Amino acid sequence: MHVRHLPAAALLLACCASPVSPQQPFALQGTIVTPSQVLQNGSISISGNLIEDVSASPAGTQNSAIVTDSFIFPGLIDVHDHITWNMLPRWRPNRTFRNRYEWQQTDAYSIALSQPHYAITSDHELACDADRFGEIKAIVGGATSVVGGLAPTYGTNDNACILGLVRNLDIDAGFTGSVLNQAKVWYTIYPLEMSLSTEAEVSAGLKSGAITAFLIHAGEGSTTDAAAAQEFQMLAKNGDGFLRPGVSFIHGTAFNAEDFAEMAKAGVGLIWSPRSNIELYGSTTDVRSAKSAGVKIALAPDWSPTGSDGMLEELKYAATWNAAQYPPVFSEIDLANMATAIPAQLAAADKQIGSLAKGMYADLLLLRKKGTDPYQTLVQAALADVRLVVIDGVPVYGDVDLMNKLLPGRNLEQLTVCGAPKLLYMEPQAGIPETAKTFRQISEELKSKLEQWGTSLAELAPCSGSDLN
């Protein structure tokens, strides 16, 4: 059984769903960022849900490729989030804490976040609304895959409403053979509270391949907090130990250089969420030591109440933090890889997503060209710069011109994000009425319920003027 972060709510919906309608093949022309090079005037062809071809020139597609005037990246991969919490506004406790257990015990947290979240997610329909709101927020921020979405209650498959938007790598990745709630990626928030039977299941699963990635919150607190630091040794000794390939530690703010050396030797990854760390604890993970030791590091936003609203915002925050370090810890190419190729590796999905190459799943992020350097554009992108997001070969969000060209005759919902007009495409899943709601309907229902608890619905995007038309 997965160790999840939702309360034990009585959700009612059973699966199963059919996929969205097949998308006609299409090709996009722009500057393409591949694993090995940048193709300045290339084309990428999409057939079904796969990349059919990546070409250094528009030859062969010149008459049919849509000219995007964009940098074309792999979709961003968020391997650390709490999607249903992202409906809630920012939490500003006006103090820092020693560790995560300290702030979770405060009345301020309970009133601002915990109680409103429980009130929403204890109702099945509203829980689906919260997840879809959070997924749309992730898409607006450039993500095509997430971890930490709406999990089932124990022993049931009542969360089929997650289907049809982003890839939920720990619930249903949408790859060939994926089964709802039988994902091989396990996402654990309180690993030290796992039962012995769950520990044994995880250990056996990692050995057999039944579990390919185990993402663990650990060492979350200030850099000097002894309790958070002790979690490294506790996890290393827990059962057969979790220092092994396939495991990644989330946060690790209290870990030291010796810990990172052990992680690198064991093939354990690190998932870094600097904004949330600094806002809650006043400092962040010693990523310089982790990088020097050879630990694979992914970047992720944590959640929007204290972290970033999405991957693009967290990239910008990380780049700003990095620029203040002497010397800088990461290059802009490093940061781009930390949002694409490396999280794909840590989620054991790098054969499917995380790069643009023939045969990979068609998950794309297109950004408006600003200058000639795609990596600088990525780490400095504003949300209005998102030209298009494609997930599983389906254009789901983007600028009006591209969405209308790619999805003529489809039902597209108008949004305004940071002053820029956008279109959103959400095709209902057969037999799942919750997926038939518009973004406006979702937002209005959440807003009404949250007001009863003395709070408000979060902005879709971290800028003024983000709203529905």
Residue 384 lies in a domain: no
Question: In this structure, are strands 66-74 and 26-33 parallel, antiparallel, or unpaired?
Answer: parallel
Confidence class of residue 15 from pLDDT cuts 50, 70 and 90?
Answer: very low
Average pLDDT taken over every residue of the chain: 91
Share of residues in the chain with pLDDT > 90 (%): 86
Q: Is the dihedral of CA 456, 151, 6, 14 positive or negative?
A: positive
Can you give the pLDDT at residue 433?
A: 93
Q: Is residue 396 part of a domain?
A: no
pLDDT tens for residues 304-347? 999 999 999 999 999 999 999 999 999 999 999 999 999 999 99
370 falls within a domain:
no
SS3 category, 324:
coil
- pLDDT of res. 57: 79
For residue 394, give the nearest of 48, 102, 63 by alpha carbon.
48
Please give the average per-residue pLDDT across 443-460, as a whole number: 97
What does the pLDDT read at residue 465?
A: 41
Say how many domains are in the chain.
1
Q: What is the pLDDT of residue 101?
A: 96
Q: How far apart are CA 406 and CA 397, in angstroms?
A: 11
Confidence band, pLDDT 50/70/90 cuts, at residue 239: low
The answer to whether residue 461 scores a pLDDT higher than 80 is yes
Structure tokens at 383: 């949300």
- Looking at residues 185-212, what average pLDDT do you find? 92
Q: Give 294's pLDDT tier (boundaries 50, 70, 90).
A: very high
- Residue-level pLDDT at 9: 31
> Looking at the domain assignment, is residue 87 inside a domain?
yes
Q: What is the pLDDT of residue 223?
A: 94
H-helix or E-strand containing 291?
helix 287-293
**Per-residue pLDDT, 107:** 97
Considering only 62-71, 317-326, 390-399, which range has the smallest mean pLDDT?
62-71
> Given its phi and psi angles, is residue 188 left (phi above 0), alpha (psi -120 to 50 degrees) or beta?
beta
Residue 286 lies in a domain: yes
pLDDT value at 87 more than 80: yes
Q: Most distant CA pair in the chain: distance in Å? A: 63
Say yes or no to pLDDT of 290 above 50: yes
Give the three-class secondary structure for 79.
Answer: coil
Please report the pLDDT score of residue 14 as a whole number: 30
- What is the pTM for the complete model shown? 0.94
What integer pLDDT is reported at residue 237 of this predicted model? 81
Domain region containing 136: 77-346
Residue reference for tokens 């008459």: 63
Cα–Cα distance measured from residue 368 to residue 384, given in angstroms and rounded to the nearest whole number? 9
pLDDT tens digits, one per residue of 31-62:
999 988 999 999 999 999 999 999 997 755 44
The lowest-confidence range among 1-10, 142-151, 265-274, 279-288 is: 1-10
Q: Report the candidate in 191, 194, 239 with the shortest Cα–Cα distance to residue 215.
A: 191
CA distance 182 to 446: 29
- Average of per-residue pLDDT across 145-171: 90
Does residue 166 sit within a domain?
yes
- pLDDT band (50, 70, 90) for residue 12: very low
Mean pLDDT for 242-264 is: 97
88 pLDDT more than 70: yes
Instruction: Tell me the residue type at 164.
Output: G
Question: Is position 301 within any domain?
Answer: yes
64 pairs with which residues across the strands?
none
> Above pLDDT 70, what percent of the chain?
91
- Extended strands (E) in 236-319: 247-251, 269-272, 297-299
CATH number of the domain that 180 lies in?
Answer: 3.20.20.140
Average pLDDT over residues 356-363: 98
pLDDT of the residue at 195: 86
User: Whole-angstrom Cα distance, residue 395 to residue 402?
Assistant: 9
| Residue 359 to residue 46: CA distance in whole angstroms | 10
Residue 3 domain-assigned?
A: no
Rounded mean pLDDT of 85-94?
96
